[in-house]
Amino acid sequence: MRDETRIVHAGRHPEAFSGAVNPPVYHVSTVLSPNLADWEQKKEDYAAERPGMYYGRHGTPTLEALEEAIATLEGGHRAVLFPSGLAACAGAILSYVKAGDHILVTDSAYGPTRRVALRFLTRFGVTTEFYDPLIGAGIHALLRPNTSVVVVEAPGSLTFEMQDIPAIAAAAHRGGSIVIMDNTWATPLYFKPFEHGVDVSVQAATKYIVGHSDAMVGTVSVTKEAWPKLRTTHVDLGQTAGPDDVYLAQRGLRTMATRLKQHWESGVMLADWVSHQPEVERVLHPALPADPGHAIWKRDFLGASGLFGVVLKSVSKAAFAAFIDGLELYGIGASWGGYESLVMPFDPREVRSATRWPSTGPCFRIHAGLESPADLLVDLEAGFGRMRAAL
C-alpha cells in the first residue's frame, strides 16, 4: 500500500464504533468497572500494553487512533502522544538520559529544544554539547563513553541545514548512543526515520498533521528496542494529550498527503523566485538544486514541505519593515503547517553556539500555505518592490 492510501486508513476502526468513520472523542478520566474481576482485568491489560480503557491518562480509543496512525506512517514500532511538540521533544530526550550523561545536540535544533538541554537537563547533571549540523560521520570524534543521546534535525530549524542522518546514526550506534530526530519538517510522509538509522522520531503534530493552526499535539514514535524506556517515561511524567486536540490531529492527518503536495509545489516555486532577487543573499531550501543540502535531500527524502528561509543582504531596518509590514497574505506569526501562509523574521545568531552564522542581513521564514501560488507570488513581488523603494 502506498502512503496516500495508508494515511486514509491507518488507525481507523469503524467496525469498533458502530461504523463511524472517525473515532469518537472520549472525554474521560474515570473509567468504571462493574466488578472486581473487570477492574483487575483492566489493570492487567494496561500493564501488558493491550488496548482498552483503564484511566483517561493511560489511553483511550481517541488517542490510540492517532498513535497507531503515526507509528504506521512513520514506520515505528509504537507511538505516544504529548500535549505539544516541545513536550514531545523534551519527553523523548528525558526517556534516554540519566545523571552523569553527555548528550550531543545539533546546533540547528529547534530553539526551545536547546533550552530543554541547557536550562532543564543541566539541573539533573546531564551535560549538553552542541555540534555542527554538517558534521556527518565526524560526530564519532565527539562521542564519549557517557554519550547517551544524539539529537538530529533535518533540515534544521530556521537555518535548514541538511544532516547526513545515516552517517551520524551509524557512528552514534557504534558508540552506544540513541539517535533522536525531530522529523517535523518532513512529516511522517517525506522522511522515513527508521529506515535511516533513527531510533526515536518526534513530530510537532501541531504543524502539518493538525494542519489548520487550531490545536497542539506532539508525537514520539520509536523502534521496538527503544519502546520500553519511552513508555515508562511517558507514564511516569503523566503525559497525555487533550481528546479534542488529538481528534483534530487525526482529522487533519487524513488530508495531509494531498495538502503537502501543494505546500511543496508552492514553497519551491516561491523559494526559486525569491532566490533570483538582487536583495537576497541566500535562500535556505534543500529542494532547490543550488542548496548545499540538496544532494542529501534527494538521496534520503521523499518530498519537501512548504517551509523555507531567506537571508537578505544588508538592507535597512526600514526597508525590511516595508517588506514585512505590507504583506497581505502572509501573516506574521510563529508556528507553521496550517493552510494559511506565514512569514516570520528571525535571527539565527540567537540560537547558535557551536557554529558561526556567516551572514549579517535580516532573515525571514516563509510558510507557503494553500492559497493560489500565483497570488502568493504577487504578494511577495509587491513586498520586494516596497523594500527596493525604501532601500
Active site residues: 57, 110, 182, 207
When binding is defined by CB under 6 A, the residue of 7, 81, 92, 216 that contacts ligand PLP is 216
Rounded CA-CA distance 139/150 in Å is 9
Give the nearer residue to ligand PLP in terms of CB position, either 256 or 315. 256
Give the nearer residue to ligand PLP in terms of CB position, either 62 or 206. 206
* b/e 276-303 (16+ beta carbons within 10 angstroms → b): ebebbebbbbbbbeebebeebbeebbeb
C-beta of 191: minimal distance to ligand PLP in Å? 12
**What number of CA atoms fall less than 13 Å from residue 144's CA on the CB side?**
10
Q: Which stretch binds ligand PLP (CB under 6 A): 81-89, 114-122, 172-180, 276-284?
A: 81-89
Q: Are 341 and 371 in contact (CB under 8 A)?
A: yes
By three-state DSSP, how is residue 151 classified?
Answer: strand
* Three cell numbers written together for 228: 520500553
Within 10 A of 234 (CB to CB), how many other CB atoms are there?
Answer: 21
Q: Is 184 in the site for ligand PLP (CB under 6 A)?
A: yes
Q: Is 284 in the site for ligand PLP (CB under 6 A)?
A: no
When binding is defined by CB under 6 A, the residue of 76, 85, 188, 306 that contacts ligand PLP is 85
Counted residue by residue, the chain has a size of 391
Q: Is 116 in the site for ligand PLP (CB under 6 A)?
A: no
Q: Is 115 in the site for ligand PLP (CB under 6 A)?
A: no
Q: Are 220 and 172 in contact (CB under 8 A)?
A: no
Number of residues that bind ligand PLP (CB under 6 A): 14
C-beta of 381: minimal distance to ligand PLP in Å? 27
DSSP state of 156: P
C-beta of 342: minimal distance to ligand PLP in Å? 12
Q: Which stretch binds ligand PLP (CB under 6 A): 30-38, 172-180, 203-211, 351-359?
A: 203-211
Q: Are 280 and 311 in contact (CB under 8 A)?
A: yes
Residues in region 128-167 near ligand PLP by CB under 6 A: 157
* Three cell numbers written together for 330: 502572509
Query: Which string of x and - marks every residue 40-79 that binds ligand PLP (by CB under 6 A)?
Result: ----------------------------------------
Distance (Å) of CA 365 to CA 104, 109, 324, 342, 356? 26, 16, 11, 8, 19
**Nearest-CB residue to ligand PLP?**
85
When binding is defined by CB under 6 A, the residue of 66, 71, 89, 271 that contacts ligand PLP is 89
**Grid coordinates 544588508 are at which residue?**
314
Within 10 A of 8 (CB to CB), how many other CB atoms are there?
Answer: 15
When binding is defined by CB under 6 A, the residue of 64, 182, 245, 291 that contacts ligand PLP is 182
Q: Is 335 in the site for ligand PLP (CB under 6 A)?
A: yes
Rounded CA-CA distance 104/150 in Å is 5
C-beta of 87: minimal distance to ligand PLP in Å? 7
Q: Is 91 in the site for ligand PLP (CB under 6 A)?
A: no
User: Which element (helix H / strand E) includes 163?
Assistant: none
- Where along the sequence are the contacts to ligand PLP (CB under 6 A)? 84-86, 89, 110, 157, 182, 184, 204, 206-207, 216, 218, 335
